[in-house]
Amino acid sequence: MKYKTFVIVDAMAMAYRAYFSLISNPLKTSKGEATSAVYGFVNQLLKVLEDHKPDYIAVASDSKEKTFRHEMYKAYKATRQEMPEDMIPQIGRIKDIVKLMNIPLYIKPGYEADDIIGTAVRLAEKKGMISYAVTPDKDYMQLVTDKVIVAKPGRGSDDVVFYDVKKVKADYGFEPKQMIDYLALVGDSSDNIPGVRGVGEKTALPLIQQFGSIENLYKNLAKVDKPGTKQKLEESKENAFLSKELATINCKVPMEFKFEKAVFGRPDFDKLREVFIELEFKNLYTRLLKIYDHDKEQKEISKEELSTAKVFNKSKSKYKLITSKKDAAMLAEKLNKSSLFVFDTETDSLNPFELNIVGASFSTKKGEGYFIGIDAGSKIFSDGNERLPVDDFVKIFKPLFENKKIKKVCQNGKYDISVLRGLGIRVENFYFDTMVASYIIDPDEKHGIYNLSEKYLEYRPIPQSDLIGEKKDPSKIFDVELEKLSDYGAEDADVTYQLYEILSKEIKKEKLEKVAYEVDFPLIPVLESMEHEGVKIDKSVLDSYSKELQKLITGYTKKIHKVAGEEFNISSPKQLQVILFNKLGLSSGRKTKTGFSTDARALEYLKGEHEIIEMILDYRQATKLKSTYTDSLPELINSKTGRVHTDYNQTIAATGRLSSINPNLQNIPIRTEMGK
């Protein structure tokens, strides 16, 4: 049975969360309008709509008037600060957007959004609907039932965690309705709910689990083991019961809620488009269109329409192109006085043994970028502009990079370290990598500079394709105008610096300093050194073994065909299915949409049923060894070093382990005789 769905959003809670989550790097339009709260609210709303296109949707907000809770307890929310001045107009923007999306907004004097939402979801529950209450507040967990789910914003800007009954039990250790009793004991500092003085989370949880409710707890106070806890409970009994009343969401607000007015319908695209252009929410508008199945009458916001596009804390005067020896020396002197700087390199290849450096960029603060055009001498630039000779670059900047007192920061620093190694420069005191930092914080996210910039800075840097084309051929960099290359490189350094400021705080906030600064960041130059050193390959041994494997493959093929009674393509799953399950009658395999499976796991399961299974497994092992290793590895030997130089990656496997690509050396099957 398909249930109808209802989404209702706590507007103020979502706006506050968005505002303060970006407080260290607030979002603004190019005209200076603050947008952090608006962006966060709309972003999370769209995320929920993408995941659960509802039948009905509404938004609830607190009223300016005091509520019934203030009458019960004058100090209720007394510690809450006044709304920040730049947030006030953003609330107006949010209300406008909600209206233009044709979503009803409910405000009831004397009640909070919690109460309106509680009342609405209980009404929806009676009608047999599944409800999603969108809010960051944990007190909403008390509303969760089999038909009410709390959608809580996660750590990332577009993450949402859905709390059903099972999830609440798993994360909090008690039933959803017991959240009221839990808050009665621990209180809530954001709302100034007192709770029991001296009782925190560690003390409250076992009490809730043992006694179920504060009513039962106080009836059985003699059974509380710890005398200190018992005394605290006795002294704060009145506050405990008051706190429970304050924390209880009123699900019977006297209000008229008509679901027919909350039908998920078509927004006013034309007016919304104007607002999103003003707010410079190009990507959010594109997502909005997708939610409504790419309404063909509506067009995405173009770059031209964003004529007042975000300046992104930069101005041309702060991005400086350097081509002379004198200016390069002045920059090196400036950087030498800093405690930390960001650097980035531009090259004509991704192969460290073949590349030519064409530029290097630096930044020491937000909004700043320097780009040095470099002439390595082996290639000709099409624009004919002057560039700093590579020998001068090395002479000027080598002491700076090798200065152990100055911290260095990069995005994907392993590559840039290898570039400088090729020039005879060692990078000392490598301190922070924004790509690796993003992985440490959330391995499941994308960690490229464009993804990170959009996520944390709400800005998309100059795409590399603007310089070297959609095919991203690095050698095309010699055709790029120096001014354009300078803007691109300097911006990369600036973006990386701003990401460093944000991600370093995130790492501290999430208490990930130890793994970041003692494990992952120090590992980067070690991996670069391993990649440079490479792996020695004995080509003659592999060539010889390749011939042996071919003999084995030929032998296995003949045996398999003989046992099967006919010749067929052993590597074809379809033909193998016919032989094993139709002709030979094996039937205990794992079924798929296309018939019984013939993958390795399925064949291992069938071992012992027929002699052909063992032969096929041996055949597969031999063919894999030959194609993947004995034939392929010799072709990957670097002609200059005589070694294979694999890439070791810290940011691919979500489990945290290292991975190896180009080639993949981690999957060599050494557990078998042939593999050894």
The residue ranking higher by pLDDT, 267 or 590, is: 267
Domain ranges of the chain: 5-247, 316-534, 539-636
Q: Is 240 helix (H, G, I), strand (E, B) or coil?
A: helix
Average pLDDT over residues 192-212: 87
Tokens of 559: 């045996």
Q: State how far the Cα of 193 lies from the Cα of 20, in Å rounded to an integer.
A: 21
Average pLDDT over residues 385-389: 89
Spatial contact of 38 and 12, defined as CB atoms under 8 Å apart: no
- Tens-digit pLDDT profile for residues 435-481: 999 999 988 777 889 888 878 887 778 888 778 876 778 888 888 88
User: What amino acid is encoded at 199 in this protein?
Assistant: V
Please state, for a pLDDT cut of 70, what percent of the chain lies above it: 94
Torsion angles phi and psi, residue 95, rounded to 5: -65, -40
Q: State how far the Cα of 421 lies from the Cα of 414, in Å rounded to an integer.
A: 11
What are the CA-CA distances from residue 590 to residues 353, 605, 612 (Å)?
48, 9, 17
Spatial contact of 444 and 155, defined as CB atoms under 8 Å apart: no
Q: How confident is the model at residue 312 (pLDDT cuts 50, 70, 90)?
A: very low
CATH number of 316-534: 3.30.420.10
What are the CA-CA distances from residue 35 to residues 244, 282, 624 (Å)?
36, 13, 55
Per DSSP, helices labelled H in 263-371 are 269-279, 282-291, 325-336
What are the CA-CA distances from residue 400 to residues 168, 336, 374, 458, 498 (Å)?
53, 6, 17, 33, 22
pLDDT, residue 594, reads 56
Indicate whether 320 pLDDT > 90.
Answer: yes
Indicate whether 525 pLDDT > 90.
Answer: yes
Q: Is 309 helix (H, G, I), strand (E, B) or coil?
A: coil
Q: State how far the Cα of 553 lies from the Cα of 538, in Å rounded to an integer.
A: 22
Topology agreement, domain 5-247 and domain 539-636: no
Topology (CATH level 3) of domain 5-247: Rossmann fold (3.40.50)
Beta pairing partners, 148: 131, 145
Q: Is 357 helix (H, G, I), strand (E, B) or coil?
A: strand
pLDDT, residue 416, reads 97
Indicate whether 339 pLDDT > 90.
Answer: yes
672, with CB counted inside 10 A (0-12, 13-18, 19+), is exposed
Q: How confident is the model at residue 302 (pLDDT cuts 50, 70, 90)?
A: low
Question: Is the domain 539-636 a CATH 3.40.718.10 member?
Answer: no
Distance between first and last Cα of the chain: 55
Strands (E), 191-347: 319-322, 340-347
Average pLDDT over residues 605-616: 86
Contacts of 243 (CB under 8 A, 6+ apart): 183, 184, 185, 187, 188, 193, 194, 195, 196
Indicate whether 307 pLDDT > 70.
Answer: no
Torsion of CA 199, 203, 208, 214, to 10 degrees: -30
Helices 269-279 + 282-291 axis angle, to 10: 150
Spatial contact of 148 and 48, defined as CB atoms under 8 Å apart: no
Mean pLDDT of the chain: 87
Helix and strand counts by DSSP (H, E) for the chain: 26, 19
Q: How confident is the model at residue 595 (pLDDT cuts 50, 70, 90)?
A: low
Nearest to 99 by CA among 125, 73, 153, 61: 61
Q: State how far the Cα of 115 lies from the Cα of 252, in Å rounded to an integer.
A: 8
pTM surpassing 0.75? no
The residue ranking higher by pLDDT, 435 or 206, is: 435
